[in-house]
Structures are given as C-alpha cells and as structure tokens.
Amino acid sequence: MEEKKQIENEHLTKVYHTNHIVEAITVEKRCTGIAHYRKVSRRGYVNLETGEYIESKARASPIDIEKRFKKSCHELRRIINLNFTGHCSEKFLTLTYSGTMRDYKQVNLDFKRFWSRFRYSYPSCEYIRIIEPQANGSYHLHVLMKRMDRQGLFVPMKKLKQMWERGGVWIENLPFVDNFGAYFCPKFLKESTTSTDTVSKAHEKGTRIAFYPEHFRLYSCSRGIQKPVPVTMTYGKLKQIVGGTPPCYSHTTTIRDEQGSREILNSITYEQYILKGEKRHE
C-alpha cells in the first residue's frame, strides 16, 4: 500500500486551467539545475560539464514512441479543452478516404487543400486536426472547427463534399460530455493485443501507433487556436481556485532507480478537477 502523502500548501505545483477543467501536476522534488546535456546537431549531444560528446540512438524504441504519443495526447487534450466548450460556433468534422490510404504525407497534402478551400468560404474559422489510423492502417482525419466570431457554424453538406473529394465527410455538433479533450483523443492504448489477421505487425505491438511514420504529428492547429499556458503556483493557491471541489481523478507515480528498487527518486502527483458553474456556454 502506498501511503497517501498530503501535499503541503507551500509546495509548488504546475497548473493548467482550461475552461472548467483544472489539472495540477505536482513534482515532489522539482527540477533544480539545468540539464547537463545540450543538443548540438541532429543526433549529437554535448555534456556541458565534461565536454563529452555522445550520439543518440539511431532509432527510437516502441516504448519511446508510446511515451511521446502519450505526451502529445496530454497536450492535445488541454488544447481542446481550452478552445472548445460546446458552443454553437463549434463543429466536429470527420474526413475519410473511400479507399485505403496509408500515405501520411498525402493525407497532410489533402488536408492542406481542403483547408485552403474551407478558409476561403469560412475565413473566421480555426481548427484542431487529428490524424488517426484505423484498425487496418488507413488514415482518416478528425477536425474540430470553430468560428472565432462566435456565430453559429453551418456548412451545407453539399459544399463540404465539394471541398473534400477523397471520401466521406461528417459534420456534427460536439457531444454532451464533460471533457472534450478526453473524448476526442485517440484511445489506441486501450486496445487489446489479441490480434486476428493481416494487420499483424501493428497489433503485435498492441497498438495502432505502429502505423504512424517516424516523425508523425498526431495533431496540428491553425494559428488562432490558443495554447494552454501552465502557471506555477503553491498548492494552497490551487486549492483556493478549485474551492471545495475534490479532484475527479488523481494519481501518483513513484520514480525508482530501477524496477523493484526500494529507493524512491521522485514522485509525481497528477490531479484533475472539473469545476461546475463555468461549464458550457451555449
């Protein structure tokens, strides 16, 4: 049993406040100094203290890729929660291919073309775009679209189909959920590893992440989309912001030297609060 340590009110915590959702990340031993290594080229790093030069691994391991993916998902969730509230100026689009499309670059080109057309007719719109492989490895796109002048966004189906001629198009209102970020983030990692057939390779690794190319971007945003800015504050100040609301989710990770080691290097507590009252503004 891990004893639940109470965080001191004076302890510093990093807080993301994205509309009605508040996330607090509290690191027990906060990073003190500056990292010793500096990137000096594509693969090269130099230790500033010793002058030692090293080169990075040629290829990232599947574990590294999964970590990166999770990190991107976290950021994506926050961006969505900061920019989308369920207002009538917001819509959710899905763009698919009629055939199989496994060319990541081509998908980006196709979206670029779609966006240049869309922007012409709806110049006040901004987007968050997520590229996702389906179980068979064929890509499709999810787009959260938003009118910045806060007028209702209505796009005739006929027009949409003209702008995206590669396959199916869907446009919907945002669903009635508390956490849009969590709703729209890919959930590959939960997939079971029990594979059946042809798509073997990706499934053997237990995830569709394997379909992405090496330097993929899970999401991208147009410039008008706000980026979440964390604020470092005391834990007491955080409690003041959330009032009496208890965290709806909380998790502490302990970092050990190596697996099974008894010595704890650090611990990180993640908490999420959902504040009522500043929820949806229709």
Partner DNA sequence: ATGTAACCCATCGAAGATGG
Partner DNA sequence: CCATCTTCGATGGGTTACAT
Q: From 270, 278, 252, 74, select the one nearest 178 (Cα to Cα).
A: 278
In DSSP terms, which residues pair with 143 in a beta bridge? 93, 129
Helix (H) or strand (E) holding 157: helix 157-163
Q: Is 262 among the residues that bind DNA (CB under 7 A)?
A: no
CA distance 22 to 81: 10
Q: How far apart are the first and last CA of the chain?
A: 45
Q: Among 113, 205, 237, 239, indicate the residue that binds DNA (CB under 7 A).
A: 113
State the Cα–Cα distance between residues 168 and 94, nearest whole angstrom: 8
Instruction: Rank residues 195 and 241 by Cβ distance to DNA and give the closer one.
Output: 241
Site string for DNA, 148-177 (x = CB under 7 A): --------------xx--------------
CB count in 10 Å sphere of residue 150: 13
Q: Which amino acid is at 179?
A: N
222 sits near DNA (criterion: CB under 7 A):
yes
**Footprint of DNA on residues 46-105 (CB under 7 A)?**
54, 56-57, 60, 64-65, 67-68, 70-72, 74-75, 105
Q: Which of 56, 52, 63, 28 is nearest to 42 (CA)?
A: 56
Q: Is 34 in the site for DNA (CB under 7 A)?
A: yes
Q: Is 42 in the site for DNA (CB under 7 A)?
A: yes
For DNA, the binding residues in 115-154 under the rule CB under 7 A are 115-117, 119-121, 126, 129
Instruction: List contacts with DNA (CB under 7 A).
Output: 14, 25, 27, 29-43, 45, 54, 56-57, 60, 64-65, 67-68, 70-72, 74-75, 105, 108, 111-113, 115-117, 119-121, 126, 129, 162-163, 214-224, 227, 230, 253, 255, 265-266, 268, 270
